[in-house]
């Protein structure tokens, strides 16, 4: 499980980019993959949470490939991908900062 998760994170984080528009998207995705890996290794994320976040990153990667299929990422496609990345950023933050030791009465 650990090897699969680490491999998935490294594959998603290592995408090469050519265009200026995609560079920002790729840099954001790389940063998010680093945050997921850090959360997993520092035990801030459970394996299940890390797996959910990795699947979310895979979905964003698929969106990038589909947008680039015609050779160019339009502004609308870029905005759609960036919106998905913003949502992923919030999910990563919330999952990493969940206080599991806090008792709710």
Number of domains in the chain: 1
Residue 42 resides in a domain: yes
Residue 103 resides in a domain: no
53-78: pLDDT as tens digits: 999 999 999 999 999 999 889 999 99
Q: Residue 91 to residues 17, 45, 73, 77: CA-CA distances in angstroms?
A: 25, 11, 25, 21
Look up the pTM and report it: 0.71
pLDDT at position 76, please?
A: 95
Residue 104 resides in a domain: no
Q: Residue holding tokens 């050519």? A: 18
22-57: pLDDT as tens digits: 457 889 999 999 999 999 998 889 999 999 999 999
Residue 105 resides in a domain: no
Q: Residue holding tokens 């299929």? A: 69
Range of the domain at 91: 2-96
pLDDT at position 98, please?
A: 83
């Amino acid at each position: 499980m650990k090897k699969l998760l680490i491999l998935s994170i490294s594959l998603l984080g290592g995408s090469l980019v050519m265009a200026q528009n995609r560079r920002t998207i790729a840099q954001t995705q790389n940063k998010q993959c680093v945050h997921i890996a850090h959360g997993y290794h520092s035990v801030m994320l459970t394996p299940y949470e890390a797996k959910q976040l990795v699947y979310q990153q895979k979905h964003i990667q698929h969106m990038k490939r589909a947008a680039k299929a015609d050779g160019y990422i339009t502004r609308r496609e870029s905005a759609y991908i960036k919106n998905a990345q913003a949502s992923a950023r919030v999910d990563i933050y919330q999952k990493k900062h969940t206080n599991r030791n806090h008792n709710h009465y």
